[in-house]
Chain A
Amino acid sequence: MRRIPVLGLFFGVFLGAGVDYAGEKPQGDPQAPVDPRTLRALALDLLGRPPLEAEWQRWRTLTRAKLQDELVGSPEFWTHWFEEQLYYFLLVNNFRPVQERLVAIPRELAEKRLDVREAIHRVALSSSFDQRNPGADTFVTVVMEQLAGLEVTKNQRELEIGKKVYDGAPGTFLGAPAQSQADVVRNAVKSGFFAQHLLRREYERLARSKPDAKDLAPWCVQFEKDPRCFPELERGWLEGPAYAARLAQGAPLPNRSFARALYVDLADRLPTFEEAEPMREALDSLADSAPLRSITARLLIDSGKLALPARKDVSDVSGWLRTRFLRLLGREPSEGELGAFGKILDEPGARLETVLYALVSSPEYNRC
């Protein structure tokens, strides 16, 4: 095997641990264009990917509020939301639903013909969900835990009733009559536990922190009144202090976002499902995916399929570097970085690939 000796040098560093975002705090002026860090983080959080070049050029002229309005509730926002739900239920690989009724969920959500409660209800009734959770004990446990947020050890009686209902016996499950597997799902989705659990975990996914109980209660009331308020709730979360803290501190880039970001940032295109999913699956198979992230970045950069410009075609090196830093790391390069990177690119035979590889394999890139 050919040796690639320096690849491993950064692998001892857990992804992005220790990255200090001090000095990169999002701007406070609501009329100012969105700052590059917030722009990148919003795209990654709401769409599961960073912006393409053309999007970046346009979005950086928008205010943060305008950008949020544009992203939240967009068709791609719902596609990402749906993918995150499938991942939450571990409906991946062989269990990924392919039925038209399931595939149509993001479109129907975007067209407001479906709300998130109905969407999850539909997912839980699918054959994929059934196959993923075979047998009465597993199925009812998963419904209680993942749809209603209940601990089965503290609700053994409910579990036993649910298992009997699953097998066709009549019973009262989560406060309502039931007599089938479908009733188990329906009762969980219609129960008050559902809204609380859904909003709690969705808030946590976005803000990377648990919501206060006093905040959660009114959200649940609003959701129970009309579940179509979900995008509105999400806009509110984006404006809250927890999300501000998440922006200030940065957050680890999940493997599924990394797989998509690599294509967007290096090839300026979205990966196909067939490109992104096997990579996500492979990255997920390692407790520390840093070595494999670095390998995939290196392979992609060395593949010759990226249509990158040659060094000689870049006349404004500082401008090119500044744009790469802003797009890939969400910040301006420091004077020292500009000097060090510029010096390398001034060497005879210098390649832009070297700079790109250094950036995308850095701990900083692996946070957002």
Chain B
Amino acid sequence: MDRRAFLRTAAATGGVLAAARFLPARASAVLAPAAGERKTKHLVLVAFAGGVRTRETFGTPQNVPTLAALADEGVLYTRARTSNLGHFGAALAIFTGLAEQRGIRENARSNDVTLFEYLRKDLGWGPNDAWIATSGGAQQVNYAYGLHPEYGAKYGANTLDGEGIFNREFKSLLETWGRPRVWSEAEERELASLRACLAQRAGATKPDPGAAQVERFLLEELTRGTADLTGPNASDAKALRVARNLLTLFRPKITAVVLQDADIAHGNYGGYVEVVRRNDAAIGELWKAIKQDPELANSTAIMVVPEFGRDRDLNSRRGLDHGDGSEELGYVTCACWGPDFKKKSIVKEDVGVVDVTPTICDLFGAKPRFAHGKRLPGLFA
């Protein structure tokens, strides 16, 4: 009997609370609806990475009117513990539920299982049900999946780095080549037969029917205005724009966004605050798009989670590094909003950013077998 079936049986016999005693603390979701009964069908997880302190976000609400409004209609966690593992490792911890040391410039996958793999494997989600839009370049595509033998690439998320693909130079390169010619049906048939011939040798697997949709999306996005976004948060703005377009086109069950531009803070405090403000506005656009979409409006949740904060004091360049071990670095504030979450709730007890993966898995009904975090307390209505 699985956990949900067990709980249903226990509830029917009036033994819910008694039954919960025999479950691990992290799994005691007895009073929350089971995943299948929840209203949330889509979730947007914004990793507000790059190093963002509470002081410049919820500590100065005028910088983040969107996040403040999200929190006002949802749940605010004021003490989410982080690990200073460098940007790569710390952001990865949000997606794996495991805080492990990773090389700060490491550009490789780990054996850790990601949130996307748990969800896709356990729930049978398709390739276009999980997407990540990133802004930090080549390194961040490693968030899509790990190398665990029981999970891995076939359960990974589609990853798209906004700054990478929508760089102006690539757009202008494509423009010099021109748009693809429409091939005749005869040519397409010929191509298919040649490919089938080559595939026999390559041992190709069955083609993925959603892949053509991805390709059309890429071509369409390449000719939109995403490449023209500028400003101190240009990379983040592209990632959020991509996420918004993905959400309305594919309606993924989970869409993650990884931001990065706040790290400008090392040498430019004013620029950092401006990034926080602009990203808040871009998240506002995303939220607005969700609210205006009849299908998404009442079935979509949003979680905004920084990967860590920044130092308490300015450095000699009047910027903010991240390495002093202070509480401002180690604790961040997270906001959650959605149809199954409490409203106007503030949780002041210590939680961890590694709790995000177990919480989302719980929300949808997947098992985060290797994650160390636990479900966020006080979240579900």
Contacts and interface: CB of A to CB of B under 8 A. Distances in A.
A245 B205 CA distance: 24
Nearest to A275: B173
A145 interface: yes
A13 B207 contact: yes
A286 B141 contact: yes
B191 A362 contact: no
Interface stretch (B27-35, B156-164, B290-298): B156-164
A138 B195 CA distance: 47
A90 interface: yes
Nearest to B212: A8
Contact of B192 (A6, A274, A278): A6
Interface in A319-368: 334, 336-337, 340-341, 344, 347, 349-351, 354-355, 357-359, 361-364
Contacts of A292: 165, 218
A163 interface: yes
A157 to B, nearest CB: 14
Interface string A198-241: 00000000000000000000000000000000000000000000
B190 A344 contact: yes
B215 A7 contact: yes
Candidate in B176, B219, B267 with the most chain A CB atoms within 10 angstroms: B219
Interface in A259-295: 274-275, 277-279, 281-282, 284-288, 291-292, 294-295
Given A9-B195, A286-B161, A340-B194, A163 B323 contact: yes
Interface residues of A, number: 81
B211 A18 contact: no
Given A135-B323, A295-B219, A12 B206 contact: yes
A135 B322 contact: yes
A4 B192 contact: no
Contacts of B321: 134-138
Given A3-B182, A358-B191, A16 B202 contact: yes
Given A90-B137, A281-B170, A282-B167, A354 B105 contact: no
B53 to A, nearest CB: 15
Given A10-B195, A344-B190, A350-B190, A145 B104 contact: yes
Given A146-B103, A336-B197, A359-B198, A282 B177 contact: no
B58 interface: no
Interface in A77-114: 88-90, 92-93
A282 B164 contact: yes
A357 B319 CA distance: 51
Contacts of B204: 10, 13, 18, 363
B167 A281 contact: yes
B147 to A, nearest CB: 13
A278 B169 contact: yes
A144 to B, nearest CB: 9
B212 A9 contact: yes
Contact of B160 (A11, A286, A303): A286
Contact of B177 (A13, A291, A305): A305
A136 B323 contact: yes
Interface size class of chain B, counting residues whose CB lies under 8 Å from the partner chain: 35 or more
B193 interface: yes
A124 interface: no
A358 B197 CA distance: 10
B164 A9 contact: no
Contacts of A89: 105
Contacts of B186: 347, 349
Contacts of B267: 134
A11 B128 CA distance: 13
Nearest to A347: B190
A295 B215 contact: yes
B205 A12 contact: yes
B266 A134 contact: yes
Given A138-B104, A287-B144, A5 B212 contact: yes
A3 B211 contact: no
A287 B187 contact: no
A19 interface: yes
Nearest to B169: A278
A12 B207 contact: yes
Contacts of A300: 177
Contact of A287 (B157, B174, B176): B157
B14 interface: no
B37 interface: no
A151 interface: yes
A184 B258 CA distance: 31
Contact of A8 (B106, B211, B263): B211
A295 B218 contact: yes
Interface string B247-271: 0000000000000000100110000
A70 interface: no
B180 interface: yes
A142 interface: yes
B183 interface: yes
A354 B167 contact: no
Contacts of A2: 179-180, 182
B165 A151 contact: no
A363 B215 contact: no
A184 to B, nearest CB: 14
A152 B170 contact: no
Contact of A291 (B181, B195, B211): B211
A20 interface: yes
B215 A11 contact: yes
B86 interface: yes
Interface of A: 1-14, 16-20, 88-90, 92-93, 133-138, 141-142, 145-146, 151-153, 163, 167, 274-275, 277-279, 281-282, 284-288, 291-292, 294-295, 298-300, 302-305, 334, 336-337, 340-341, 344, 347, 349-351, 354-355, 357-359, 361-364
Interchain residue pairs A-B with the least CB separation, the first 8: A137-B323, A285-B164, A8-B212, A12-B208, A11-B211, A285-B161, A134-B266, A135-B321
